[in-house]
Amino acid sequence: MPKLTVGGTVITGVVDAKVHTFHRNPNAADNVPTIQFEVQLRLQNTDFLGKWALAKQSADRYKKVELQIMNRENTVANTWTMLNGYLADYQVIEHPPTGAVTTGTGEHGFYNELVIRGNMPEGQDYSGVNIATVAAGAAPKDA
């Protein structure tokens, strides 16, 4: 399972995670790409993520976020580090849309969905590493 750390706090129960880097202009590459982590996790019993989602425009809204993506041997395949991430979308889902149990998300499919987006500090030019960085992990033994 992926491992998510937000501002030094380990978030447990991550079921699925995606790293999504894209350009908003359909005709050409943007000067600064958008990077976001899309994460699904079991319902949290703490208020940490909710308070982060509601944080006012200040230093509390932006946190260092680390996402470790695991390979099939459960060793780290990649470590993505967002230097200045904010919670762009936070959903608490009581029941899956189909009414079915979502596998792995906990009792009766109660879960959270997050979109954490990287932000470049104002007054800086994009350097390729001042929004997020990526580090390689270990390849599976039979790769």
pLDDT digits (tens, 9 = 90+) for 45-102: 889 999 999 999 888 899 999 999 998 888 999 999 999 999 999 998 876 555 555 5
How much is the pLDDT for 37?
97
Euclidean distance between CA atoms 105 and 95, whole angstroms: 11
Residues 6 or more apart whose CB falls under 8 angstroms from that of 86 comprise 61, 62, 63, 116, 117, 119
**Token pair recorded at residue 91:** 């959903």
CATH of the domain at 36: 2.30.110
Q: Does residue 47 lie in a domain region?
A: yes
- Which is more confident, 27 or 115? 115
Amino acid 27: pLDDT: 87
Q: Per the domain annotation, does 143 fall within a domain? A: no
pLDDT of residue 51: 93
Q: How far apart are CA 34 and CA 30, in angstroms?
A: 9
Domain region containing 77:
3-136
